[in-house]
Amino acid sequence: MAAAMLTVVGGATGAVTPPVVASGPSPFTACTADNPTAQEQFSTLYPNAEPEPRAAINPTDSSNIVGYFQQDRWDNGGDRGLVVSVSHNGGASWVAAPMPGITKCSNGAYDRASDPWVSFAPNGDVYAITLSFDVFDPNNAVLVSKSTNGGDTWSDPIAVAADATNGLDKESITADPHDSNYVYAMWDRFVSPPGFPRSDNGRFHARSFVQQAWFSRTTNGGLSWETPHVAFNPGTQAGTIGSIINVLPDRTLVDGLVVFSVHKQSSTQLRGASVAVIRSTDLGETWSKKPSIVAPFDPTFGGPTDPDTGHPIRSGGLPDFTVDPQNGNLYAAWEDDAPTKGVDAIQFSQSTDGGLTWSAPIKINQTPTNIPAGDQQAFTPTVKVSADGTVGVTYYDFRNNTADPGLTTDYWFVSCASDCADASSWGAEQHVAGPFDEEQAADAGGYFLGDYEGMVTTGNTFGPFFVQAES
Give the tens place of pLDDT for each residue, 407-426. 999 999 999 999 999 999 99
Q: Looking at residue 313, what is its pLDDT?
A: 96
pLDDT on residue 261 = 86
Q: Predicted confidence band at 7 (pLDDT cuts at 50, 70, 90)? A: confident
What is the length of the chain? 471
Q: What amino acid is encoded at 126 in this protein?
A: V
CA-nearest of 381, 378, 374, 329 to 351 is: 329
Least confident of 17-21, 162-166, 300-304, 390-394: 300-304
| Predicted local confidence at residue 3, as pLDDT | 66
Residue 324's nearest CA partner among 383, 373, 256 is: 383
pLDDT tens, residue by residue, 360-388:
999 999 999 999 999 999 999 999 999 99
Please tell me the predicted confidence (pLDDT) of residue 2. 60
Q: Are strands 442-443 and 447-448 parallel, antiparallel or unpaired?
A: antiparallel
pLDDT reported for residue 23:
96
Q: Structure pTM?
A: 0.96
Question: Residue 260: which H helix or E strand, with range?
Answer: strand 253-261
DSSP 5-34: EE--B-TTTS-BPPPEE---S-TTTT--TT
